[in-house]
Amino acid sequence: MKNLKNFPVKKKNVLLRVDLNVPVIDGVITDRSRLYIIKATVDKLRSNKNKIFLLSHFGRPKGKFSENLSMKFLTSVLEEVLLINKIYFLSRCFGNEVNATKNIMQPGDVCLLENVRFHKGEEQNNLNFARDLADSYNIYVNDAFSASHRQHASIVGVTNYLPSLAGISFINEIENLDKILFNTRKPTTAIIGGSKISTKLILLNNLIEISDNIIIGGAMAHTFLLAQGNNIGKSLVEKDLISDAISILEKSKKFNTNIILPIDFFCSTSIDDSNNIKKVDYKNILPDQMALDIGDKTIKLIKEVIMESNTVLWNGPLGVYEHKPFDYATNTIVDIIKQNAKISNITTIAGGGDTIAAIRKAKAEKDFTYISTAGGAFLQWLEGKESPGIKALKENDFS
């Protein structure tokens, strides 16, 4: 697959697909990570005197213009993040306005295009729309790994009309995720949390084949415990997936993978009741109680497993992270990794919104080997699937 590390791009008009779909609360960007990770690609293209047009989606406008989902507010923020004095902004993402601006831009200049999802053709992967997107450029660069699990025009369709290659952060993401899938240092431990098995069935089935240990936390664990015949009180559970949980447990034996479930919990009568929290072993959950976080005995067990591992993958919180004090276990595991991973030479890779939030809260970003901001694309890669965006780049046969 051609990429900016092995394929020179100089003095071209470049359509650069990035992911600027940043979280915004009350008009304030709460996480700029996706802005910073494109800097290496932008800098490389600027140093080679290309004219760069940034294309991204923002929110879910469903093919219609929405003023509150315009990309325009990002112009000044990108100037600050990318250390550029002036970034042009266009109210459309293709057409005459692009061509006119291209003519006044100087080599190394950057232009931000309007939200590509304002057009229905984007999510439909309409080839006519893709051709319109490609029309003004010499080359296409995809630096939006986090959006490349989508079969969209700006990810897939446009590669039919332009020489196409991967950006620097795109390649970095693949290389780091491949450390887990193909070049892992054994023993490998996966920590998988979250509320539903249904969203991570394929992931668990794939990880069983490559991991030595899989630690399951969050409400996902309740379904496994129920499948083993344990009482779980009023805890969140997916009863219709009990057979799937049993199948995963049986498959783990076949591959000699150690599945580790919680052995104790912090329980209460509801998420909002923080005054009557009980610490109980997994066999002693009362009928009116909900398991809301894993307990100290389980945390101790997880620490022991981490310290015996050379590679640790983490996706998903271990309790009801968004409700204090049930963020305790997740925060404690972050601290364990923060204190021990580098000293013990443990490769640590993390992904998922709540997991990353916990890592940032603890100021532990530098203590992890790699943190993926790719969301659904991160999970798809770990499921062993090749994303549409990667496939499109590999199949691009323009010279």
pLDDT digits (tens, 9 = 90+) for 237-246: 999 999 999 9
Do residue 316 and residue 360 come from a single domain? yes
Q: What is the pLDDT of residues 24-79, one digit of tens each?
A: 988 899 888 899 999 999 999 999 999 999 999 999 999 999 999 999 999 999 99
Strands 347-351 and 370-372: parallel
Q: What is the pLDDT of residue 334?
A: 96
Do residue 335 and residue 209 come from a single domain? yes
**If DSSP codes are grouped into helix, strand and coil, which group holds residue 168?**
helix
Confirm whether 194 is a catalytic residue.
no
Asked if the model's pLDDT at residue 183 lies above 80, the reply is no
**End-to-end CA, the chain:** 12
Express the helix, strand and coil content of the chain in percent, nearest 5 each: 40, 15, 45
Q: Which of 32, 44, 196, 394 is labelled catalytic?
A: 196
Q: What is the pLDDT of residue 25?
A: 87
Mean pLDDT within 254-276: 94
Q: What is the pLDDT of residues 280-309, one digit of tens each?
A: 999 999 999 999 999 999 999 999 999 999
Do residue 93 and residue 145 come from a single domain? yes
Residue 3 forms part of a structural domain: no
Mean pLDDT within 331-335: 96
- In the chain, the percentage of residues whose pLDDT exceeds 90 is 82
Residue 225 forms part of a structural domain: yes
Do residue 157 and residue 234 come from a single domain? no
Residue 391 forms part of a structural domain: no
Residue 140 forms part of a structural domain: yes
Do residue 158 and residue 240 come from a single domain? no
388: closest CA among 399, 376, 371, 373?
Answer: 376
Q: Which of 34, 46, 150, 338 is labelled catalytic?
A: 34
Mean pLDDT within 109-136: 97
Banded model confidence at residue 399, pLDDT cuts 50, 70, 90: low
93: closest CA among 137, 48, 125, 138?
Answer: 137
Alpha helices (H) in the chain, listed in sequence order = 33-36, 39-47, 74-82, 96-104, 120-123, 127-134, 168-181, 201-208, 220-227, 242-254, 296-307, 328-340, 353-361, 376-382, 388-395
Q: Which of 39, 376, 385, 391 is labelled catalytic?
A: 376
CATH number of domain containing 278: 3.40.50.1260
**Which of 121, 139, 169 is the last residue before a domain boundary?**
169
Asked if the model's pLDDT at residue 277 lies above 90, the reply is yes
Asked if the model's pLDDT at residue 222 lies above 90, the reply is yes
Asked if the model's pLDDT at residue 397 lies above 90, the reply is no
Do residue 240 and residue 292 come from a single domain? yes
314: closest CA among 201, 203, 150, 169?
Answer: 203
Mean pLDDT within 265-277: 91
Q: What is the pLDDT of residues 339-373, one digit of tens each?
A: 999 999 999 999 988 898 889 888 999 999 999 98
Q: What is the pLDDT of residues 81-103, one digit of tens each?
A: 999 999 999 999 999 999 999 99
Residue 399 forms part of a structural domain: no
Strands 264-268 and 110-112: unpaired
- Contact yes or no for 174/164 (Cβ under 8 A): no
- Contact yes or no for 277/224 (Cβ under 8 A): no
Q: What is the pLDDT of residue 149?
A: 93
Q: What is the pLDDT of residues 144-157, one digit of tens each?
A: 999 999 999 999 99
Do residue 119 and residue 236 come from a single domain? no
Asked if the model's pLDDT at residue 180 lies above 70, the reply is yes
Q: Which domain holds residue 195?
A: 184-382
Q: What is the pLDDT of residue 379?
A: 87
Confirm whether 283 is a catalytic residue.
no
Mean pLDDT within 262-277: 92
Do residue 30 and residue 143 come from a single domain? yes
d(CA 224, CA 220): 7
Structural domains in the chain (count):
2
Do residue 110 and residue 252 come from a single domain? no
Residue 179 forms part of a structural domain: no
Confirm whether 34 is a catalytic residue.
yes
Banded model confidence at residue 322, pLDDT cuts 50, 70, 90: confident
- In the chain, the percentage of residues whose pLDDT exceeds 70 is 100
Do residue 251 and residue 309 come from a single domain? yes
Residue 39 forms part of a structural domain: yes
**What residues have CB less than 8 Å from 145, skipping those under 6 apart?**
19, 169, 170, 173, 174, 374, 377, 387, 389
156: closest CA among 388, 377, 376, 397?
Answer: 388
Tell me the pLDDT of the chain averaged across its residues: 94
In whole angstroms, how large is the CA radius of gyration of the chain?
A: 23
Q: Which of 59, 108, 353, 384 is labelled catalytic?
A: 353
Do residue 161 and residue 208 come from a single domain? no
Q: What is the pLDDT of residue 92?
A: 93
Asked if the model's pLDDT at residue 276 lies above 90, the reply is no
d(CA 34, CA 281): 41
Residue 231 forms part of a structural domain: yes
Q: What is the pLDDT of residue 234?
A: 95
Q: What is the pLDDT of residue 65?
A: 95
**What residues have CB less than 8 Å from 313, skipping those under 6 apart?**
180, 188, 189, 190, 191, 207, 211, 349, 350, 382
Q: What is the pLDDT of residue 377?
A: 87
Do residue 197 and residue 112 come from a single domain? no
Q: What pTM value is reported for the model?
A: 0.87
Confirm whether 376 is a catalytic residue.
yes
Asked if the model's pLDDT at residue 181 lies above 70, the reply is yes
